[in-house]
Amino acid sequence: MKPEVGFNWHNGSIQSVKVTVPKVYVGKPLDELAGTVREVVTKDFKQPPDTIVLAFALGK
């Protein structure tokens, strides 16, 4: 399952990152998934953003 990632930079600093997963993820409890997303986003952007939004696309 590959999420969509959007982000917003301002003056060289990452302000927000939105991670949208294509369906509800049941492989981990939500708090564990959120922790994993936080770790990966911080590692990939090389700095923690002010805000991370984790969303699930529900489809039809």
Q: What is the pLDDT of residues 1-60, one digit of tens each?
A: 789 999 999 998 999 999 999 998 888 899 999 999 999 999 999 999 999 999 999 988
Domain boundaries, the chain: 4-56
What's residue 35's pLDDT?
Answer: 96
What's residue 37's pLDDT?
Answer: 95
CA distance 26 to 28: 6
C-alpha distance across the termini of the chain, in Å: 18
